[in-house]
Structure 1
Amino acid sequence: MKELVMDLFDLNNEIALVTGAGSGIGQRLAIGLAEAGCAVACFDLATSAGLEQTAEEIRQRGGRALTFKGDVTQADDLAEAVRRTEVELGALSVALNCAGIANAAAAEEMPLAQWERLMAINLTGVFLSCQAQARVMLPRRRGTIVNIASMSGSIVNRGILQAHYNSSKAGVIHLSKSLAMEWSDRGVRVNSISPGYTLTPMNLRPEVAEQRKVFERDTPLGRMATVDELVGPAVFLASKASSFCTGVDLVVDGGFVCW
């Protein structure tokens, strides 16, 4: 029985593409998919210092990994990454879209360029990623796509001026549901994960130490998530364990949205 249960989460022989794999949540989830058995194509900007480190950690664990440098706002970059993934690793069956940015500004003062850049990466970038991935999954009638949203797509964080970020993540949640319904009868599942406050490098900077205390205070479990705690939800949605789940937004927030 134990072996049967573990088999539900087994990703051996699956081929994954992870965007935003050079840092933070994307880096940990790329490694997590490899630990579950996936061969992983890691995609991030050319300026990402951690992309090669992600691939090397996967290889040190005995896994297969490739790196691709590109921009999720560029459809051609994504199409080429998918093409090379299929040539060098095999048929793409799992996609995890983590690329995104965050910043803050008062809505009444926010420059249009700031709004447009964040939307281009966080929302259009997820759409273009899903589009490129689905174009090879749909003809085979097999694949699962997981998009990283945020609890900020469902609630508004107190004291943080992020109308653009919150809107982009709400868009990711609804985009995932919309694609799930379009592709539900064609073998491709689409879900999203909405993390709460998480200890990524951005939140570990000394200058946000006081803000971290507020995040911990406001989370019912009394702390922020570690990036390790997002691996289980990602493996679940990528594996047979979630075979009847599509259009789901899995909130991983320590209970934050309950308050």
Structure 2
Amino acid sequence: MFKQLFDLSGRVAVVTGGGRNIGLSTAMALAEFGAKVVIAEIDPQVGEEGLAALQAKGYEAELHQLDVTNSKAVTACADAVVSKYGRVDIAVANAGIALGSPGELMPDEQWHKVIDINLHGVFYTNRAFGKHMLDAGKGSIVNIGSMSGIISNKPQEQVHYNAAKAGVHHLTKSLAGEWAKRGVRVNAVAPTYIETAMTKTGAANPDWFKTWMEMTPMGRMGQPSEIAACVLFLASDAASLVTGHVLVADAGYTVW
């Protein structure tokens, strides 16, 4: 019985930013449990590499080039997926970037870039794929937030990133409340520092890394697969009673 709750056979899943890191690991997890996976990736080369990795394992997958800050393009992507497969069951809004700058010196351009990708892009993804799920009366959306939406990181300065991720968490709860009675669940995962290309520069700074580890009870960074496992749970029927939840996977960072 319980094994069947994780079975995604016949379902269609879309993962934005799915060409590498957390996105690719998530696509792998969903595909391993039977889903047909669509990688939505802005970088064609990264997308092709991710697609090749999935297909090398025999998984059914395809690639859509997508800039999540372009709302019309996100809508077109959702429409194309449903037109081809007749359905979309799972949408993972994972695409995001991290930049740093002191608040008082932050250029408008950097503020807008981070907010556009990390918050607006998540909303556009929820809206576009959510519409089709609402029409079908079922579906699961998982947004990738961050512990940065709960606490303010140090020593790096990233007010735009923190604000965007806090917005993702509240967006998740808001849409979950709107759509619960219409069969669509909306949840989020809030990771700690994960060993990816995004955190490579920060982790290479000995002062930063020392602070990160001192503030993390488990004393380690996370792996993309550990976040993918959280997404798999929330996307599956094993989480059928769960909506509006922010699943914190932070190695204990936010307990203090």
Q: State the TM-score, normalizing by the size of structure 2.
A: 0.95
Work out the CA distance in 1 between the residues paired with 2:135 and 2:229: 29
Q: Does the residue aligned with 2:45 lie in a helix, a strand or coil?
A: coil
Equivalent residue, structure 1, for 2:228: 231
**Equivalences, count:** 255
| Cα deviation, residue 209, structure 1 | 4.8
Gaps of 5+ in 2: none
The answer to whether the Cα contact below 8 Å between 1:30 and 1:54 also exists between their aligned partners in 2 is: no
2:52 to 42, 49, 56: 56
1:158-211 C-alpha deviation (Å, 9 max, x unpaired): 211111110000000000000000111111000000000110123235972523
Work out the CA distance in 2 between the residues paired with 1:63 and 1:158: 40
1:81-129 C-alpha deviation (Å, 9 max, x unpaired): 1122123334100000101111111111111121111111110110001
Label 1:49 to 1:213 Cα distance change in 2 as closer, same or farther (>3 A): farther
The answer to whether the Cα contact below 8 Å between 2:41 and 2:66 also exists between their aligned partners in 1 is: yes
Q: Does 1:217 align with 2:214?
A: yes
The answer to whether the Cα contact below 8 Å between 1:39 and 1:89 also exists between their aligned partners in 2 is: no
Equivalent residue, structure 1, for 2:192: 196
Instruction: Give structure 1 regions of 4+ aligned residues with deviation exceeding 4 angstroms.
Output: none
The answer to whether the Cα contact below 8 Å between 2:203 and 2:209 also exists between their aligned partners in 1 is: no
Instruction: Report sequence identity in percent.
Output: 39
Q: How big is the alpha-carbon RMSD for the aligned residues of Structure 1 and Structure 2? A: 1.5
Q: Does the residue aligned with 1:49 lie in a helix, a strand or coil?
A: helix
Q: Does 1:41 align with 2:30?
A: no
Gaps of 5+ in 1: none
Q: Does the residue aligned with 1:185 lie in a helix, a strand or coil?
A: helix
Q: State the TM-score, normalizing by the size of structure 1.
A: 0.94
The answer to whether the Cα contact below 8 Å between 1:15 and 1:90 also exists between their aligned partners in 2 is: no
1:23 to 9, 20, 36: 20
Work out the CA distance in 1 between the residues paired with 2:149 and 2:202: 26
Q: Does the residue aligned with 1:189 lie in a helix, a strand or coil?
A: strand
1:173 to 169, 174, 179: 169
Work out the CA distance in 2 between the residues paired with 1:205 and 1:89: 40
2:89 to 93, 118, 126: 93
Equivalent residue, structure 2, for 1:66: 62
Q: Does the residue aligned with 1:82 lie in a helix, a strand or coil?
A: helix
Work out the CA distance in 1 between the residues paired with 2:26 and 2:183: 23
